[in-house]
Amino acid sequence: MKKIYTILGLAVTLSFTSCEDFLTTYPQNQLTTETFFQTDIDFEATANGMYAVMTGYPSEFFPMIDVITPFAGETPTKRCGVFNPYNGQVPMVSPSLDFTRQCWQNMYKGIACANDILANADKKNSASKSIIDRTKGEAHFIRGYAYFTLVTLFGEVPLFTEPQVTYDQVLKPRTAREEIIKQIIYDLGEAKKLLPSVKTYRGTDNLGRASKGAAQAFLAKLYVYEKRWEDAKKEFVELVDAKEPDYDLTPNYYDQFWPDGENGIESIYEIQYDPSRPTAVNKNFPMNRFMDFINPPAEAKMNFTGGFGYMEPTEYYCDLFETIKGYKVTSTYVSRTAATPGPIFNYDYASADPDFESDKPYDIRDPRLKYTVWYEDSPTIKEFEKRTGQSNVSFKSRYSLSSNHCVVKYIVGQLGGKKNYSPMNMIVMRYADVLLLYAETCIQNNDLPKAVSLINRVRARVDMPTVEKVGTIQGIDIAGNKERLMKYLQQERFRELGFEWGHMMLDMARWDILIDELKSYWVQGRDGWPEFKENSLKFTKDCYLFPIPEGEMTSNPLLKQNPGY
């Protein structure tokens, strides 16, 4: 799909009704429907423009919401300081934060483009039915996806399903959540009817467009979020249990985080990036900025100038990864050693695995650990050099400022060809996510054997032992106990999907375990951090939603802010 940007300029330059700067700028002269929405090229251009407005800073920053969890660190005095817990009410993201503003605006830009398409697609034109149907399906998908994102991050938001052509039309209060959910279900259902299978796109320049499977996967995910388990099961059965399903797991876990693994057999929906497209942030730097945000410092020689290291996995997160035989590993903080640029955190490690060596704590571990977390002298360095053609790459514990670690996923070195930017797409949903959501659905429907088989399928890809075997090794019944199996499913999602698209934070919030996890983790003296202030560590569920952006509150007085902000 990266080639679709060759005709993107048409859609963006035309600036359809509210499509370019919805809620912030209003068109002085509008392109009339009598002169557009006439040909296949017109419809394809508008669809491409709709996809394009979903890229940029919000998508590149989105995975970093995992920093809200105990699984990634920011120090109280350094990093970007957006999500750190030292202010007492995680995340207490400022309503003026650029991420919340751009995320809100980009979602509404996509919605505005979709509304334009759906308002005009059935009018008299010379476009082919196949292109019209596909474009309508894409518009329903983007609108459904955008509202799903908005309601998950912000709660109730204004609902628009028609083009907005005047300032007064966008002055609307927040819509009841039930009405928004109903609209998302309708849009994703229509997209499911209108869009083709991804199989028709594979091997073509259209690979990367929304497909029937993408619509169905997001619909199933919505049902999971809404705890509509029977509805979710119906969608998952069609997606996963079909005789010839559209998707499968990528044989090599690490492959999907490299450019040549984009839009692969496991991919369900990705935000598409293109080396020829300048970013909205700075036209001198093409492509995706996420790598710049999470790269370790220049001394690592992973990219051109080093990155910000904004998201640094904690040792607590690493403890989730069992030994290859299925034994638990635990770490206990001992001390810090002064170093530059950051301190080295010293831990004692223990495991009941007879092959475990405490001075080599990351050896014989679940392979996903080395493909998710950089640690000192990781063997992934050699694989990284082989894939990039670079040399003298390293990772040392001191490269991290708030832990001994940085994130591996999406780090593709100098393959971007300029500065610290990346040609990588951002993976919003992949098949492993679907399998684990299906497993969760089965647990809630009391079909534990089916749930276990789905979890085992994900683990088998990296040659990890089955849930049954892990239970035997650890001396507890996991597979046959609903509560324990649900806990294990949660941990499996953290291991499989960590630091990709905010899955860990969003999961912990919807399971209502985030606050308990934060309170358990952030205790005085944690990993040698200075004593917290009196107002710190007073975590509340207000952090489950982000604040409505300050600019939107100013321009639309009918909006009311979320509690706690």
Mean pLDDT of 546-565: 92
pLDDT recorded at residue 172:
95
Is 472's pLDDT higher than 80? yes
pLDDT recorded at residue 304:
80
The three-point CA angle 510-514-516 to 5° equals 130
d(CA 297, CA 309): 7
pLDDT recorded at residue 419:
67
* Local structure of residue 332 (DSSP, 8 states): E
pLDDT recorded at residue 13:
29
Mean pLDDT of 374-391: 96
Helix or strand (DSSP H, E) at 11: helix 8-14
d(CA 339, CA 345): 10
- Report whether 44 contacts 262 (CB < 8 A): no
pLDDT in tens, 214-257: 999 999 999 999 999 999 999 999 999 999 999 999 999 999 99
Identify residue 115 by its one-letter amino acid code.
N
Identify residue 267 by its one-letter amino acid code.
S
pLDDT bracket for residue 283 (50, 70, 90): very low
Lowest mean pLDDT, pick from 93-107, 206-220, 317-331, 452-466: 93-107
pLDDT bracket for residue 279 (50, 70, 90): very low
298 C-beta neighbours (distance < 10 Å), count: 14
Closest CA to 177 of 129, 112, 222: 222
pLDDT bracket for residue 6 (50, 70, 90): very low
Percent of the chain at pLDDT > 90 equals: 67
- Bridge partners of 422, per DSSP, are 288
Exposed/middle/buried for 483, CB within 10 Å: 0-12, 13-18, 19+? exposed
pLDDT in tens, 90-141: 445 667 677 888 899 999 999 999 999 999 999 999 999 999 999 999 999 9
d(CA 93, CA 369): 29
pLDDT recorded at residue 58:
74
d(CA 475, CA 327): 10
Structural tokens at position 277: 């497209």
Is 565's pLDDT higher than 90? no
- Report whether 439 contacts 454 (CB < 8 A): yes
pLDDT bracket for residue 537 (50, 70, 90): low
pLDDT bracket for residue 536 (50, 70, 90): low
pLDDT recorded at residue 73:
78
Mean pLDDT of 473-488: 98
Mean pLDDT of 257-267: 95
- Report whether 379 contacts 364 (CB < 8 A): no
Distances (CA, A) of 316 to 91, 159, 236, 391: 19, 40, 32, 31
- In the three-class reduction of DSSP (H, G, I as helix; E, B as strand; rest coil), residue 427 is classed as strand
Lowest mean pLDDT, pick from 48-52, 249-253, 353-357: 48-52
Phi and psi, residue 268, nearest 5°:
-110, -45
Q: Tell me the pTM.
A: 0.92
Is 525's pLDDT higher than 60? yes
Mean pLDDT of 515-531: 83
pLDDT recorded at residue 1:
60
pLDDT in tens, 13-23: 233 333 433 33
H-only helix segments in 121-243: 129-154, 167-170, 177-194, 212-225, 229-240
State in Å, rounded, how far the first CA of the chain is from the last one: 40
Higher pLDDT, 70 or 331: 331
pLDDT in tens, 488-513: 999 999 999 999 999 999 999 999 99
Helix or strand (DSSP H, E) at 519: helix 514-521
Closest CA to 101 of 559, 560, 550, 442: 550
The alpha carbon of residue 310 and the mean position of all alpha carbons in its chain are separated, in whole angstroms, by: 16
β pairing state of 426-430 and 406-407: unpaired
pLDDT recorded at residue 288:
81
Mean pLDDT of 300-309: 86
| Exposed e or buried b per residue across 499-517, where buried means at least 16 C-beta atoms within 10 angstroms of its C-beta | bbbbbbbbbbbeeeebbeb
- In the three-class reduction of DSSP (H, G, I as helix; E, B as strand; rest coil), residue 456 is classed as helix
Lowest mean pLDDT, pick from 172-176, 248-252, 301-305, 329-333: 301-305
Is 27's pLDDT higher than 50? no
pLDDT bracket for residue 542 (50, 70, 90): confident
Closest CA to 394 of 317, 312, 296, 313: 296
pLDDT recorded at residue 310:
81
Residues 6+ apart with CB under 8 A from 476: 484
pLDDT bracket for residue 457 (50, 70, 90): very high
Lowest mean pLDDT, pick from 357-371, 412-426, 546-560: 412-426
pLDDT recorded at residue 508:
97
pLDDT recorded at residue 375:
98
Phi and psi, residue 390, nearest 5°:
-85, 170
Average pLDDT score, the chain: 87
Helix or strand (DSSP H, E) at 458: helix 448-460
Lowest mean pLDDT, pick from 427-436, 495-504, 531-540: 531-540
pLDDT recorded at residue 61:
78
